[in-house]
C-alpha cells in the first residue's frame, strides 16, 4: 500500500523530502478557499502534518499518499484515508489548483476507499467536508457515498459554516459521534 498506481497517478507514502512541495501546496490560499484558516503559513505546520501522516501509516498500514503524475512525476496533491478515533476511515485530499477539474480527486479517492476497505473492511469510509465545498460533495456522490449528516461545524471560526458527512455505508450512532468530535 505504500505505493499504488492508478490510471494517471503514482501514490506514495509521504517522505520528509516531500515537505517543501507540500508546504507550497498547503500555503496556497486557492487550495483553502473553503476553509482559509487551515492554510499553512509556516513550514512547521507542514512538518507536523507529515508527522501525523507517518503515525497513521505506522499504526494502521495506510494513510495519506503524495500524488504525482505517472507521466511527469509532478506533484498533483495528496490524499487518502486515515483512521479517525478508531471508528471510521476519513477520506481526504488536496490537489493543486492547476489540477482541479480533471478527475484526479475522484481517481485518488476511489483508490483510497478501495485500499481502506482492503486494510480494515470493518471500518466505514466517510468524507468530512464543508457544505460550501460543492466540488468535494460532488466527488463523494460520484463515488456512491451518501450524505448522513448536515449541521453546524463546531470549532470553525466561521459561525455560519455547515459540516457535511458522507459515508459509503450506514453509520452507527457511535461511528457518527466519533466522526463529529
Q: Which three cell numbers stand for residue 52?
A: 501525523
Amino acid 1: pLDDT: 78
pLDDT in tens, 49-64: 999 999 999 999 999 9
For residue 57, which of 115, 121, 129, 136 has the smallest C-alpha distance?
Answer: 115
Residues in the chain: 181
Categorize the per-residue pLDDT at 71 as very low, low, confident or very high, splitting at 50, 70 and 90: very high
pLDDT in tens, 108-159: 999 999 999 999 999 999 999 999 999 999 999 999 999 999 999 988 999 9
pTM, whole model, 2 decimals?
0.94
3-state secondary structure of 28: coil
What pLDDT, on the 0 to 100 scale, is given for residue 138? 97
Q: What are 51's three cell numbers?
A: 508527522
Q: Crossing angle, helix 19-26 and helix 43-60, to 10 degrees?
A: 110
| Residue 128 DSSP class | E
Amino acid at each position: 500500500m505504500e505505493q499504488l498506481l492508478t490510471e494517471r497517478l503514482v501514490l506514495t507514502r509521504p517522505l520528509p523530502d516531500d515537505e517543501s512541495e507540500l508546504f507550497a501546496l498547503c500555503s496556497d490560499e486557492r487550495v483553502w478557499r473553503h476553509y482559509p484558516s487551515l492554510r499553512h503559513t509556516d513550514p512547521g505546520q507542514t512538518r507536523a502534518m507529515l508527522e501525523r501522516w507517518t503515525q497513521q501509516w505506522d499504526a494502521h498500514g495506510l494513510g495519506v499518499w503524495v500524488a504525482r503524475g505517472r507521466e511527469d512525476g509532478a506533484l498533483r496533491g495528496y490524499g487518502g484515508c486515515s483512521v479517525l478515533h478508531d471508528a471510521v476511515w476519513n477520506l481526504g485530499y488536496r490537489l493543486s489548483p492547476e489540477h482541479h477539474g480533471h478527475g484526479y480527486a475522484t481517481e485518488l479517492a476511489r483508490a483510497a476507499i478501495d485500499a481502506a476497505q482492503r486494510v480494515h473492511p470493518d471500518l466505514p469510509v466517510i468524507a468530512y467536508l464543508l457544505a460550501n465545498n460543492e466540488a468535494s460533495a460532488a466527488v463523494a456522490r460520484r463515488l456512491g457515498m451518501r450524505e448522513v449528516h448536515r449541521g453546524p461545524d463546531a470549532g470553525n471560526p466561521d459561525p455560519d459554516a455547515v459540516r457535511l458527512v458522507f459515508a459509503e455505508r450506514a453509520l452507527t450512532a457511535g461511528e457518527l459521534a466519533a466522526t463529529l468530535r
